[in-house]
Amino acid sequence: MKIDLSPLQTDILVAGGGPAGISCALAAARCGAKVTLCQDRPVLGGNASSEVRMHIVGANGMSEGIPLQCEAREGGIVEEIRLNQCVRNPQRSASMMDLGLYDLCRQEPNLTLMLNTMVTSADVKDGRIQKVVAERLSTNDRFEIAANIFVDCTGDGTLGFAAGANYSMGREAQAEYSESLALETADRKTLGSTLLFQARQHPGPMPFSPPSWARKFSAESLKHRPFGQPGSDLNLEYGFWWLEWGGELDTIKDNEVIRDELLAALMGVWDFIKNHSDVDAENWALEWCGFLPGKRESRRLHGLHMLSEQDLMQSRAFPDSIATGGWPIDTHPPGGIDAIDEPPCTQSPLPYLFDIPLSSCLSKDFENLMYAGRNLSATHIAFASTRVMATCSAVGQGVGTAAAYAIQKEKDPQSLPSDADATFRIRQQLLRDDAMLLGCQNEDPRDLAPKATVTASSEQPEGPATAVIDGWTRSLRSPSVDRSKSPIGAPPDRFPEATHRWMSDPALGLPAWIALSWNEPITIGIIALVFDTGMHRLLTLSMADGYTGRMLWGRPQPETIRDYAIEANVEGQWITIHSEQSNYQRKQVHPFKNPIETSSIRFQIFNTNGIDHARLFEIRVYPPDVCDPFLP
């Protein structure tokens, strides 16, 4: 078979198109870098794609937060994805999720997407990766891709492994990192993998006969694994995350064996539910079952810092933090469904949200290799929290932003964590792009809004107009209730207690307005707004009816401003410079081709998507010469 070899050149090569890789590639491209994204599957999304169909969860856990107090849902790119799916995919189609992710990448001019293309080897010289080989067998193509920076978002650490980077696989001993939740003795076991399924209820009986190779299960063998529970993610229409196996094998090398055993287990579990359990499943039939195992754990690449249990439990503040986590430390028995006397998971709650530093995403072996996703540098115990997909996405956005900064400033990624000026600029750009960072507020000197006087048609005591320039864009007040359960917020000394948003008076109704005025005329090139999207609320595409029922799915979030206009006072007259209808996103950026000279701007709020008053977190105003995504 003739294989064509094509040389390619890019600034940043991202391997892996799951939530981490997508967010990494988009963030870097939006910050001006030329990015190539190689994904070894025909669709994007990883475990969230139609091939696996796991819902994206993250820092807010599986429980609602508290309105106006504890809003731990990640912002940035993953919030953009969630809101897009919520409004554009009300039917909850897994394939439409694939299309939505493809569309985001396809629309980004700085991003080259290569599907069905797997990175297979790396050329290394003098501590740097020079280029990688990526193969697309479906078209008989092989590519040699040279780049300045390489980012491994494969989950399996495929690129790092090909380059010869050091990694861990398995569970560390307690003494190695002083982790109370670790085992006394290290081993090579991991969390297992899962095959999910979907089923549908029909008007009449739907018989099921299992294949001859299906496994047999009983009430005794499933005594710790619940099913048939409406109102949760454990009903019959979607299941089951606990259908897990393979943690006692090599989840990379033995993936085919694991897939076959999981299929046998899936058929056996459905046979038990349908034909032998007390659940009334007579009219239910399988609609879809996965053939690609949803993998939880494999290689974890070694970085400049190894994130550990204490970092999470103490909510250690990292000056190079680029993302925030909060999912509990969620370990599973390696035996999975065969561990019949153990619960399918053990969740150790965290007292607070925690930092994920850039130094855990930088190779200690290669100057220009970065990581994002579940293969970042963490112990097994810390990984048990950072592995979930919304957290992976947030890390991906942070790594992509840092990589773009390194390209622009011609720096090696390894040098960034120890460069206080660099980390400050990267974190400020992440805030500008709506990332959630603890203890970090807007300090962008180019932003003209904090220099303005703010007035409004009305305000509430807990939602003053001046909040739009206070530098914070959410509330992360840690609840006074028992923090051993969700929700969790920020440590009290790392996030000021306030709603951090303007709220107009509902008694006066809409329209409402908020205005910024300066003592001297300014020239405006960009206005950026951050809206309230109910980030205390669960919101993610899920095939589980009960879980979705706890969300406001299929519509914009009611807190979000829908219709608004931006006006500028020009020679004593209010002139409309932009109108927006049907907004549902949290972040909106309005560039002006013809700069606006004014000493006052006003935002007229006509309608929300449900509530009876206007809410706005942030207004940023930039001069027209601010084209560099990073601080000068």
Which tokens belong to 570?
Answer: 């020009």
State mean pLDDT over 387-403: 98
Q: How far apart are CA 26 and CA 15, in angstroms?
A: 13
Closest to 119 measured CA to CA, from 147, 96, 144, 139: 144
Angle subtended by helix axes 76-88 and 19-30, to nearest 10: 110
First-residue to last-residue Cα distance in the chain: 52
The predicted pLDDT at position 177 comes to: 97
Closest to 602 measured CA to CA, from 468, 495, 429: 468
Surface-to-core class of residue 12, CB atoms within 10 Å of its CB (0-12 exposed, 13-18 middle, 19+ buried): buried
Angle subtended by helix axes 420-432 and 389-409, to nearest 10: 120
User: Which helix H or strand E contains 267, and what residues bound it?
Assistant: helix 255-275
- Where does 326-458 show beta strands of DSSP type E? 329-331, 346-348, 354-357, 369-371, 453-456
User: Each residue of 251-309: pLDDT tens digit?
Assistant: 999 999 999 999 999 999 999 999 999 999 999 999 999 999 999 999 999 999 999 99
The predicted pLDDT at position 147 comes to: 98
DSSP-assigned beta bridge partners for residue 244: 194
Q: What is the pTM of this model?
A: 0.97
Which tokens belong to 38?
Answer: 């190689």
In the chain, pLDDT over 90 holds for what percent of residues?
94
**Residue 435's pLDDT band (boundaries 50, 70, 90)?**
very high
User: Which helix H or strand E contains 161, and what residues bound it?
Assistant: helix 158-163
The predicted pLDDT at position 293 comes to: 98
| Residue 483 reports pLDDT greater than 60 | no
**Cα 126 to the chain's mean position, in Å?**
34
C-beta of residue 605 within 8 angstroms of C-beta of residue 513: yes
User: Which helix H or strand E contains 6, and what residues bound it?
Assistant: strand 4-15
Instruction: Identify the residue with better confidence: 104 or 625.
Output: 104
| Angle in degrees, CA 560, 562, 563, rounded to 5 | 145
User: Each residue of 556-615: pLDDT tens digit?
Assistant: 999 999 999 999 999 999 999 999 999 999 999 999 999 999 999 999 999 999 999 999
Closest to 562 measured CA to CA, from 590, 539, 586, 537: 586
The predicted pLDDT at position 487 comes to: 72
Q: How far apart are CA 247 and CA 224, in angstroms?
A: 18
**Residue 62's pLDDT band (boundaries 50, 70, 90)?**
confident
The predicted pLDDT at position 229 comes to: 82
- Computed over every residue of the chain, the mean pLDDT equals 96
The predicted pLDDT at position 125 comes to: 97
**Residue 524's pLDDT band (boundaries 50, 70, 90)?**
very high
Closest to 115 measured CA to CA, from 192, 190, 49: 49
**What is the rounded (10 degree) CA torsion for 550, 556, 558, 559?**
110
Q: How far apart are CA 444 and CA 32, in angstroms?
A: 19
Angle subtended by helix axes 76-88 and 94-106, to nearest 10: 130
Q: How far apart are CA 399 and CA 358, in angstroms?
A: 7
DSSP sequence for 329-354: EEE--TTGGG-TTS-S-EEE--SS-E
Surface-to-core class of residue 436, CB atoms within 10 Å of its CB (0-12 exposed, 13-18 middle, 19+ buried): buried
C-beta of residue 489 within 8 angstroms of C-beta of residue 70: yes
The predicted pLDDT at position 632 comes to: 62
| Angle in degrees, CA 574, 465, 527, rounded to 5 | 55
The predicted pLDDT at position 484 comes to: 58
User: Each residue of 320-368: pLDDT tens digit?
Assistant: 999 999 999 999 999 999 999 999 999 999 999 999 999 999 999 999 9
Which tokens belong to 251?
Answer: 């989840």
Q: How far apart are CA 573 and CA 211, in angstroms?
A: 76
Distance (Å) of CA 273 to CA 210, 239, 425: 12, 12, 55
Which domains occur in the chain, in start order? 193-295 (no CATH), 449-622 (2.60.120.260)
